[in-house]
Amino acid sequence: MNPAKIALKNRTTTLVLTLLVIGMGINSYLHLGRLEFPDFVIKTSVIVTPYPGASSEQVEQEVTDVLEEAVQSLGELDEIHSTSQDGLSIIHADMKEKYQGEKELQQIWDKLRRKVNDAQAELPSGAGPSIVNDDFGDVYGLFYAITGEGYSYEDLKEYGESLKKQLLRCDDVAKISFSGTQPEVIYIEVAQARIAKLGISPQVVLQLLQSQNIVQPSGNVMVGENYVRIEPTGEFNSEERIGDLLIVSPVTGAGMRLRDIAEVRRGYLDPPVSIMRFNGRPAIGMGISTVAGGNAVVMGNSVKARLDELQSMRPAGVNVEILYDQGATVNVAVNDFMINLIESVLIVIALLLIFMGWRSGLLIGIVLVLTILATFIYMWLAEITLQKISLGALVLALGMLVDNAIVVVEGVLVRLKRGVDHETAAIETVQQTQWPLLGATFIAALAFAAIGLAPGNVGEFCVSLFWVLASSLMISWLTAVTITPMLCVWMLKASSDSSADVDPYDMPFFRLYRRVLDRIIRYWPATLAVILGAVIAAVIAFGYVPSFFFPESNQPLFTVKLFRPQGTHITHTSDSIRKIEAHLSEEPSVERVSAFIGQGTLRFILTYTPEDINASFGSLIVSVDKLENMYDVLERLNDYLDAEFADAEYVVERWKDGPPYDYAIEARFRGPDAEVLRGLSEQAKSIMREEGAGVVRDNWRNRTTVLRPDFSEAAARQTGLTRNDLAQALRLNFGGQVVGVYREGNDLLPMILRSNSEESDTYQDARQIYTWSLLHNESVPLDVVVSDWSRESTWQDSLIHRRHREREITAQCNPQSGLASVLLKKVMPRIEQMDLPAGYELEWGGEFEASANGTEPLAAMFPICLGGMFVILIVLFNDLRQPIIIFLCLPMITVGVTTGLLLTGLPFGFMSILGYLGLSGMLIKNAIVLIDEVEANKASGTTPYTAVLDAGVSRLRPVVMASGTTVLGMLPLIWDPFYKGMAVTVASGLIGSTILTLLVVPLFYVLMFRIKSDENKA
């Protein structure tokens, strides 16, 4: 079968199909989904369980351990890690990477909920209920801040809810969530001194409120033929009704209203769990997520258009301002890609015009554009979106997409030069090259299979890279053997001096190459020594190439994370963050400053991980007008933080395009004893400081103070009070106790009974707290049962981290400057030499772990892919020697890659690894083309040595052009932070390996087949 013959025989059909590809390709491109990152499901669920009043150690032992045991029985579980803090347990359950897709994970989350619910019966009284948050991985790519001068949080939330109903109907909107909202409560603040004088027990008020507003069945009764439900009145339907509640004094017998002894008011939970501000103003966040496979640009435009339509309904003074717009980011990325694509196409065509003539260059350029358009059709049919990975695949493939067409055009040109007519030249060229080119194309695609077919998260995240590359390469082969021959017939012209006796390679450049190749083969021992020395030197030098995982983003965004000393009240943390906001507001380049105190916010970008609840934590997300202005802002901000917050821990970092981690270097120590763990952490932190690390900390942070009033058992027996009475009285005074719910439409507002602010300002006020003695039927001051209020306080670990159900402390640091891998090489050997007690272990996290998790699946898959390449080569040549020759050339890739990275000073990261894997396919493809020509020459009767030299000469231009187009196609990517490592790796590796391939493959062929160089003179 000859595809060229079929295409030429059916030219009208071929032409119509070509025009259809152009039209459908343009239409497909316009309708492709657009996202910032590929659709990727974060396989983590968070289980949050309150245990009010419990210490972190009690939470760990009585709640966290119980729930971890239940969750661990889940067969799909990969890893479990938790944080136990005062009154709260937070467990992160990570599922195995092999589970992918929303449907599959939703079934797992259902099983997880059942196990957590079953474990509730084992929790101590007062703990729970546990909340399973399986939306932890949702990405809200469009994030708004709703602010309003003079409007309460409830007003803003109410307006946000009205917007939600409207915006959910917009194109490609999946769901809408809010952050930074302040829950409303009903406070009932009693004056303890007053109720003590009246002889009213706080417990009486508490029990009365608890019993008043409970929904209880009152039965049904027959009324005629109807069975009617009975519902007595008396429930609270207004705040005034709560104040009207009648209380009888047991001492005087007089009745009084609750408002006479307490203030009933509506307010917000105090202290708040979290606080949000936007440009210094109180705000709530509204996050909007895109449907799976949707178009973030379309969604963003649809939402903005609807907001404009609703502008007239917006209350005066309320603002809806953009905090993050994924659609705008994607739009810029796609536009940049189109610019890169056009630049690359023009560069490729220009190169072909120079070295192959304008007709050949224009012809191959047309085929290149057709191939790209056909790839867009495939992407649309396969529902592959345009995002960082697929866009990178298209640009990476760009140079390779012309390889097959170049070989075909070169073959036709040579035959035309020898006097063969156009159709015969096209048909003969395709007949000779179609199967070697198909095999080479399969191999080039297979080189990237290790990326797309890798198990786990790497394969899921990068799968579009493989399918886009594989499909575009296969389409390039199809166009090379069908459309290219037809265009050759129409566009190429035979030279006037065409003749069967004309040597098309009788030119100075080709003659020079032939002489050099002849000398290299004749002096093969010296050549082998040079090659071996170059490879060994490159491998050694590669050890000096720094490494990292993913580059920083080119978005003008950065984050500030501030950790006040553990135990700091959230209002003081908020004050510290406000100072940083004020500093940033003076920076003319800063456009937006979003503050989040107490915990992180919604995941508005895939690479952002929200921080767990912690009152001492605050963060800022800062947007700058231009990337080049951000560096000065960062420098001044770091100087300011060093001067103003010496007692705090902070991290200032640019946005990352890879897996998120705050600290690039993490040494994790696991073991049972907290004191030993802290000691190991201090040793590791000391080593980090000695080696010049910048920010150094550990995740257990500082211990916090615990006040322990001395409870007198003897006095308690005399007054009839218990330790529970003391705890409840203190709780009512300093925190408050939920006594019921107030129903307001669909909302359930907690009712909290507590002392008024005048009595609960400081710890010293505790002496004036009263509680009710059932033994004496009167109020008794707590001072009676507390023998010592000023007893020496104790210190405790307020944060206890665990992993794999063992206690774990993590020593963390970032380099002061430069790459983390350089610092890691210094600290890792020293930390690993530490003497760990029996039962304790060390594990590395941070960038090291992220990089290992990313590269290990590739390392597991790539040998399989190499095996597949070797099998294809055996099928192509029906011999073992040619595949061995080609594989012997693979180590030479390292020469060019190492040279390129060392000259540019770029590190070897994940994207560089992808380029390195792809290089193997490119080198093998070039080698196949060359060796196939040797075999064809030998089959035509040419002596073996001359066949080798002739093959090298005839394949010089196609191989150089194919490599040159790929190298030059990488040029636009060198200025993109995300792709430049891959671009330099591919470009430098291909330059080096191409030069060596053109010289070494013929040499290895001669040696492998034992061809004598003197059989024929060069």
Reply yes or no on whether the pLDDT at 218 is more than 80: no
| pLDDT over 80 (residue 708) | no
Model confidence pLDDT, tens digit, residues 889-911: 888 889 999 999 999 888 888 88
**Structure letter (DSSP) for residue 670:** E
Looking at the DSSP bridge assignments, the partners of residue 750 are 741
Task: Find out whether 610 and 603 touch, Cβ atoms under 8 Å.
Answer: yes
How far apart, in whole angstroms, are the C-alpha atoms of residue 659 and residue 748?
Answer: 39
What is the C-alpha separation between 862 and 875, in angstroms, rounded?
20
Three-state secondary-structure class, residue 129: coil
- In a shared domain, residues 398 and 485: yes
Q: How far apart are CA 490 and CA 487, in angstroms?
A: 5
Fill in the DSSP letter of residue 892: G
Confidence band (pLDDT; 50, 70, 90) for 791? low
Shared domain for 273 and 331, answered yes or no, is yes
CA 428, distance to chain mean position in Å, is 51
- pLDDT above 50 for 1016: no
Cα–Cα distance for residue pair 288/171, rounded to 1 Å: 12
Pair 92, 178 in one domain: no
Whether residues 179 and 191 fall in one domain: no
Domain containing 891 — which CATH number? 1.20.1640.10
- What's the average model confidence in pLDDT over 308-319? 90
Is the pLDDT at 379 greater than 50, yes or no? yes
For strand 799-803 and strand 77-85, is the pairing parallel, antiparallel, or unpaired? antiparallel
- One domain for residues 456 and 597: no
Q: How high is the pLDDT of residue 793? A: 66
Percentage with pLDDT > 70 across the chain: 95
Q: Which of 791, 813, 836 is the last residue of a domain?
A: 791
Does 211 score more than 80 pLDDT?
A: no
Q: Kind and range of the H or E element at 286?
A: strand 281-290
- Burial label, 590 (beta-carbon count in 10 A; 0-12, 13-18, 19+): buried
295 and 435 share one domain: no
Where in the sequence is the domain holding 818, given as residue range(s)?
A: 557-697+804-845
Whole-number pLDDT of residue 307: 92
Q: Which of 184-188, 538-542, 976-980 has the lowest mean pLDDT?
A: 976-980
* Contact in structure between 379 and 32 (CB atoms under 8 Å): yes
> Which of 15, 6, 2, 8 has the alpha carbon at shortest distance from 489?
8
Is 404 inside any structural domain?
A: yes
- Give the contacts of 364 (CB within 8 A, at least 6 positions apart): 348, 349, 352, 356, 402, 405, 406, 409, 484
Which tops the pLDDT comparison, 704 or 284? Answer: 284
Give the number of domains in the chain. 6
Joined together, the tokens standing for residue 278 give: 């936007």
Q: Which residues contact 702 (CB under 8 A, 6 or more apart)?
A: 565, 566, 567
DSSP 62: I
Q: Is the peptide bond before 129 cis (omega within 30 degrees of 0)?
A: yes
Name the pLDDT band for 205 (thresholds 50, 70, 90).
Answer: confident
How much is the pLDDT for 358? 82
- Burial of residue 794 (number of CB atoms within 10 Å: 0-12, 13-18, 19+): exposed
The alpha carbon dihedral of 877, 878, 881, 885 has a sign of positive
In-domain check, residue 196: yes
Contact yes or no for 994/889 (Cβ under 8 A): no
Q: Look at residue 698 in the predicted model and tell me its pLDDT.
A: 92
Q: What local confidence, expressed as pLDDT, does residue 687 receive?
A: 94
Q: What is the mean pLDDT of residues 685-689?
A: 94
Element (H, E) at 697: strand 693-698
Q: How far apart are the first and last CA of the chain?
A: 37
Q: By the 8 A CB rule, do 820 and 548 touch?
A: yes
Is residue 588 scored above 50 in pLDDT?
Answer: yes
- The answer to whether 623 and 533 have CB atoms below 8 angstroms apart is no
Residue 905 lies in a domain: yes
* Structure token digits, residue 437: 């080119």
Per-residue pLDDT at 357 exceeds 60: yes
Question: What is the reported pTM?
Answer: 0.84
Structure tokens at 579: 């100072």
Mode of pairing for the β-strands spanning 747-755 and 184-190: parallel
Phi, psi of 842 (to 5 degrees): -115, 140
Domain membership of residue 855 (yes or no) is no
Residue 23, token pair as written in the block: 């039209």
What token pair was written down for 193? 């001194």
- Confidence label for 506 from pLDDT (cuts 50, 70 and 90): confident
Characterize 675-706 residue by residue with b for buried, 16 or more Cβ atoms within 10 angstroms of its Cβ, and e for exposed.
Answer: ebbbebbebbbebbeebebebbbbbbbbbbee
3-class SS letters over 136-170: CCCCCCEEEEEEECCCCHHHHHHHHHHHHHHHCCC
Tell the burial category of 514 from Cβ atoms under 10 Å away from its Cβ (0-12, 13-18, 19+).
Answer: middle
Q: Between 854 and 696, whose confidence is greater?
A: 696
Residues 6+ apart with CB under 8 A from 4: 426, 427, 429, 430, 431, 434, 481, 482, 485, 486
Are 146 and 232 within one domain? Answer: no
Q: Is residue 551 part of a domain?
A: no
Which pLDDT does position 1018 carry in this prediction?
Answer: 45
Which residue would you say has higher pLDDT here, 200 or 532? 532
Distances (CA, A) of 325 to 141, 155, 627, 826: 6, 24, 17, 40
CA torsion, ordered 832, 837, 841, 843, to nearest 10 deg: -30
Six token digits for residue 496:
């006037």
Answer whether 439's CB lies under 8 Å from 472's CB. Answer: no
Looking at the structure, do residues 677 and 817 belong to the same domain, yes or no? yes
Residue 308: CATH number of its domain: 3.30.70.1320
Nearest to 462, CA basis, from 387, 555, 395, 574: 387
Sequence-ordered list of residues with C-beta below 8 angstroms from that of 529, at least 6 positions apart, any chain: none
3-class DSSP string for 957-1012: HHHHHHHHHHHHHCHHHHHCCCCHHHHHHHHHHHHHHHHHHHHHHHHHHHHHCCCC
Query: Residue 306 corresponds to which amino acid?
Result: R
Q: How far is CA 912 from the centre of its chain?
A: 18
Judge whether 834 and 677 are in contact, CB under 8 Å: no
Could you tell me if 160 and 295 lie in one domain?
Answer: yes
Q: Kindly report the CATH number assigned to the domain that includes residue 573.
A: 3.30.70.1430
Assigned domain for 51 exists: yes
The pLDDT value recorded for residue 499 is: 53
Provide the token pair at 628.
């080049």
CA triplet 482, 488, 493: central angle to 5 degrees?
170
Task: Provide the pLDDT confidence category of residue 275 given band limits of 50, 70 and 90.
Answer: very high
| Range of lowest pLDDT (13-27, 37-51, 101-115, 334-348) | 334-348
Q: Which two tokens stand for residue 984?
A: 């330099």
Q: Which helix (H) or strand (E) holds 665?
A: strand 665-670
Q: For residue 924, what are the contacts with CB-CB under 8 A and spacing of at least 6?
A: 440, 443, 444, 447, 869, 873, 886, 890
> Residue 256: inside a domain, yes or no?
no
- pLDDT (mean) for 19-24: 94
Q: How would you classify residue 165: left for phi > 0, otherwise alpha for psi between -120 and 50, otherwise beta?
A: alpha
- Judgement on whether residues 166 and 193 belong to the same structural domain of the protein: no
Averaged pLDDT score across all residues of the chain? 86
User: Are residues 385 and 482 both part of a single domain?
Assistant: yes
Mean pLDDT, residues 470-484 = 93
Look up residue 530 and give its amino acid: V
Alpha carbon distance 375, 765 (integer Å): 74
Q: Are residues 295 and 326 in the same domain?
A: yes
- On the question of pLDDT at 369 being above 80, the answer is yes
Whether residue 926 is predicted with pLDDT greater than 80 in this model: the reply is: yes
Q: Name the band, by pLDDT with cuts 50, 70 and 90, for residue 1017.
A: very low
The Cα–Cα gap between 131 and 406 comes to: 61
State which amino acid sits at residue 590: V
**Could you tell me which residues come within 8 angstroms of residue 634 by beta carbon, excluding any fewer than 6 positions away?**
558, 652, 654
Give the pLDDT confidence of 524-536 residue by residue, as tens digits.
899 999 999 999 9
Name the residue among 795, 843, 830, 791 with its Cα closest to residue 675.
Answer: 795
At residue 113, the 3 state secondary structure works out as helix
Taking alpha carbons only, the member of 807, 478, 573, 776 closest to residue 674 is 807
Share of the chain above pLDDT 90, in %: 35
Does residue 351 fall inside a structural domain? no
- The predicted-structure confidence for 77-126, as pLDDT tens digits, reads as follows 999 999 999 999 999 999 988 887 777 888 999 999 999 999 999 999 88
For 597-625, the pLDDT digits (tens) are: 999 998 888 888 889 899 999 999 999 98
List all residues 6 or more positions away from 732 whose beta carbon is below 8 Å from its beta carbon: 190, 192, 202, 206, 753, 754, 755
Tokens for 814, please give them: 């970032």
- pLDDT for position 353: 79
pLDDT in tens, 633-680: 999 999 999 899 988 889 888 887 777 777 889 999 999 999 999 999
Phi, psi of 1001 (to 5 degrees): -60, -45
Question: Where do the H-state alpha helices sit in 120-257?
Answer: 153-167, 192-197, 202-212, 239-243
Q: Could you tell me the two tokens for 525?
A: 């021992």
Phi, psi of 743 (to 5 degrees): -90, 125
